[in-house]
Amino acid sequence: MKFNNITKAKNWDGLVVIPFELKKEGIQLPEPWKNQILPKTLFSGKKDSQFILSLPKSTLLLLGCGENPTYDSIKTSYRRITAKNSHLVEKDLHLVFPENWTDDLKEAALLGLQIGTYNLGHYKQKKEHEKDWSKTVVTILSDSKNAKVLLDRATKIAAAQLEAMKLVDLPSNEVTPEYLGKWAQKAGKASGFSVKVLDRKAAEKEKLHAFLAVAQGSHREPQFIIMQYKPKKSTKHLGLVGKGVTFDTGGLNLKTQGMVHMKCDMGGAATVLATMQLIAELKIPVQVTAIVPCVENSVDNQAFLPSDVIQSYSGKTIEIIDTDAEGRLILADALAYMTKNYAPDSIIDFATLTGSSLMTFGSEYAALFTKDNKLSDLIQNQGRIINEKSWALPLDDAYAKEIDSDIADIKNFHGKPYAGAITAAKFLEAFTDKHSSWAHLDIAGMAFGDSEFAKTKHATAFGVHLMLKLMENL
Ligand code: BES
Ligand code: ZN
Ligand code: ZN
C-alpha cells in the first residue's frame, strides 16, 4: 500500500470510503455528492452497516459507525474493507475522515485498513485470492496537521502487529526456537536494538536449569533470547518477558485436548518480539530489556518426568508434578535472570500460561496479576482504550501454600482443578525476587482465537499496542 496525504482531492476515481455516525434524520453525503439522494431506510449509519453506491467513475463505500464509535469499532470497520471488500479496490482508495474525528479514531482507521491486508493462507500454492496491495494508492483527505505523523505511527503499529500475527499463525515446524532467535537478530539489526541468543550449551553455562529441563525432550535447539533497547534519553527502564513455547504437546503428561492449537504457545514471545520492533521503530524514550525463553515442549527418551526435581537459575529447586505446566518453568528462569542481571524499574510478562484463564475470561480479558496498583491501573486503563483489556486477579499469599512441596522448595502444580491461573501466577512470583513492580498477563485466551476474519482460530497480536501505550504513559 502506498499512502498519500492531501487536503483536497484531485479526482475521486476509484473507491471512496466515507464513515457516518448514526443519524435518525438520515444522512447527507459530503461534497461533491451532496445532491445524491440517500433514503434513510437504505442507510442510516447504523453500527456495522455498509452501503455501496456505484457511480460512473467512483464507488462510494459508506460505513455505518453507530452512535459512539470507539477505537476498536472503527478499527474493525476499516479492517473489513481490506479483508472482505478487497474486490471493490482497483487502484485508488480515498479515505474521507469526518471533521469531528479525533486523531485516535483516524489512527484506528489507518491501522484497521492495514491489518485487513493480512492473509492467513501462508502455504497456499494458488495465490489467486490474494490481493497484491503494493499497487494500491491510498489517499487520505484530512486537514489534520499531524496526518503524516499519524500515518507513520499507524503504519508502524500495523507492521509490528502483522509480524506478531504471522509468528503465531505459522506452524511449529516453521516457527521453531531457532526461527525466533533469527527473527530477533534480524529485527534488532533493522530496527535498532541489541540481541544476544543463548543456545543449549550457553544456557547450561548460565545455569538456566528450569529452562533446559523443558527443552530436553525436544531435538529443537532451545534459544534464550535477550534483547536490549537503549534510547539516548530515558527516564525509565522496563523489563519484558514472553513465553516462547513454540509447541506444547504437554510433554509426558501429553495433552488430550486442544493440542492442535498449541502452536500459539509462543504468543507471549510474539508480543514481546513485535513490541521491541515497534518501540525501536518509533524511538520511544524508555529503556527496555526483554527476555524471551524459547523451547519446544515435546516427548522423547530424554524428556523430563513427572516427579523429577529440577534446579533453577534462582537456586530454588522445583518438583515437577505435571510436565504440561512447562511455561512457568521457562518463565521462572527468565524472570530470575531479569531481576538478577538487569534490575529494571518494572517487569511485565506475557504468557499463554493456563487453560484456567481462558475458562475464566474467554477471549475478552487477559488475567492480570500485580501488586503494583499504579501499574495495574495503567495496564487496564490503556488497554480499555484500544480493546486490549485485562482484569486483575489476586496474588494473595494465601494461595502460596498450594504450591509448597515436601521434597523441593516449590512444586510446579498444585494438582487441583481450581485456581489454576492464580497458583501459576504465585509460582512465577516466587522467581521475581520480590520485585515491587512486576505484572503478569496470562493471555491464554487472548493471543489466539476466533473472529469474523477467519474460519479457524488465528493470532490477534494482543499486547503489542498495549505495551506501546503503556510506555508512552509511564
Ligand atoms: N500452554 C498451556 C496453556 C494454554 C491453554 C494456552 C489453552 C492456550 C490455550 C499451558 O502450558 C498448560 O498446559 N497449562 C495447563 C497447566 C496444568 C497442567 C497445570 C492448564 O492450564 O491446563
Ligand atoms: Zn503446557
Ligand atoms: Zn504451554
Q: How far is the CA of 301 from the centre of ligand 2 (A)?
A: 18
Q: What is the pLDDT of residue 276?
A: 99
Q: What is the pLDDT of residue 38?
A: 80
Looking at every residue in the chain, the average pLDDT score rounds to 96
Task: Assess contact for 283 and 191: CB atoms under 8 A.
Answer: no
Q: What is the pLDDT of residue 389?
A: 98
Q: Work out the pLDDT band at 397, boundaries 50, 70, 90.
A: very high
CB-based contacts of 62: which residues, under 8 Å, 6+ apart? 18, 19, 20, 27, 38, 43, 45, 50, 51, 52, 53
> Where do we find the cell 509511564?
474
The ligand minimizing its distance to the Cα of 419 is: 1
* Strand 438-442, strand 346-351: pairing: parallel
* Angular region, 461: left φ>0, alpha ψ -120 to 50, beta rest: left
pLDDT tens track for 315-345 = 999 999 999 999 999 999 999 999 999 999 9
H or E, element range at 123 = none
d(CA 240, CA 269): 10
The ligand minimizing its distance to the Cα of 424 is: 1
The closest-lying atom of ligand 1 relative to the alpha carbon of residue 357 is 21
CA angle centred on 460, ends 241 and 468, rounded to 5° = 50
Residue ID of nearest Cα to ligand 1 atom 16: 325
d(CA 399, CA 303): 29
pLDDT tens track for 148-164 = 899 999 999 999 999 99
Q: Work out the pLDDT band at 457, boundaries 50, 70, 90.
A: very high
Residue 142 has pLDDT above 80, yes or no: no
Q: Work out the pLDDT band at 30, boundaries 50, 70, 90.
A: confident
> Where do we find the cell 512447562?
326
Q: What is the pLDDT of residue 28?
A: 82
Return the biggest CA–CA distance within the chain: 81
Q: How far is the CA of 132 from the centre of ligand 3 (A)?
A: 36
Q: What is the pLDDT of residue 360?
A: 98
Q: What is the DSSP letter of 106?
A: H
pLDDT tens track for 342-382 = 999 999 999 999 999 999 999 999 999 999 999 999 999 99
Residue ID of nearest Cα to ligand 1 atom 7: 355
d(CA 343, CA 51): 55
Buried/exposed 295-325: b ≥16 CB within 10 Å, e otherwise: bbbbbeeebbeeeeebbbbbebbbbbbbbbb
d(CA 331, CA 202): 17
Asked about 207 being catalytic, the answer comes back as no
Residue ID of nearest Cα to ligand 1 atom 17: 325
Query: Pocket around ligand 1: residues whose beta carbon is below 6 Å from it?
Result: 248, 264-265, 322, 324-327, 352-356, 358, 413, 420, 444
What mean pLDDT is predicted for residues 248-266?
98
Partners of 367 in beta bridges = 391, 442
Mutational test site, ligand 1, from 324, 359, 399, 426, max ligand atoms within 8 Å of CB: 324
pLDDT tens track for 81-138 = 999 999 999 899 999 998 889 999 999 999 999 999 999 999 998 777 788 999 999 9
The closest-lying atom of ligand 1 relative to the alpha carbon of residue 424 is 19
Q: What is the pLDDT of residue 34?
A: 80
* Strand 318-319, strand 309-310: pairing: antiparallel
Q: What is the pLDDT of residue 31?
A: 83
Residue 275 has pLDDT above 90, yes or no: yes
Q: What is the pLDDT of residue 95?
A: 95
Catalytic-labelled residue, pool 328, 411, 426, 457:
328
Catalytic-labelled residue, pool 196, 230, 255, 316:
255
Nearest alpha carbon to residue 353 among 261, 429, 433, 445: 445
Q: How far is the CA of 354 from the centre of ligand 1 (A)?
A: 4
What's the gap between Cα 381 and its chain centre? Answer: 17
Q: How far is the CA of 201 from the centre of ligand 3 (A)?
A: 23
* Strand 448-449, strand 50-54: pairing: unpaired
pLDDT tens track for 178-222 = 999 999 999 999 999 999 999 999 999 999 999 999 999 999 999
Asked about 182 being catalytic, the answer comes back as no
Q: What is the pLDDT of residue 411?
A: 98
Is 365 strand, coil or helix? coil
The number of C-alpha atoms within 13 Å of 300 and in the hemisphere containing its C-beta is: 10
Task: Assess contact for 319 and 306: CB atoms under 8 A.
Answer: no
Share of the chain above pLDDT 70, in %: 100
Residue 29 has pLDDT above 90, yes or no: no
Q: What is the pLDDT of residue 406?
A: 98
DSSP letter for each residue of 254-265: --SSSGGGGGGG
Is 242 strand, coil or helix? strand
Residue 46 has pLDDT above 80, yes or no: yes
Cis peptide bond N-terminal to 32, omega within 30: yes
Task: Residue count of the chain, please give it.
Answer: 474
What mean pLDDT is predicted for residues 449-454?
98
d(CA 216, CA 212): 6
What mean pLDDT is predicted for residues 19-26?
84
Q: How far is the CA of 250 from the centre of ligand 2 (A)?
A: 5
Q: How far is the CA of 435 from the centre of ligand 2 (A)?
A: 26
Residue ID of nearest Cα to ligand 1 atom 5: 355
The three three-digit cell numbers of residue 33, written as one number: 455528492
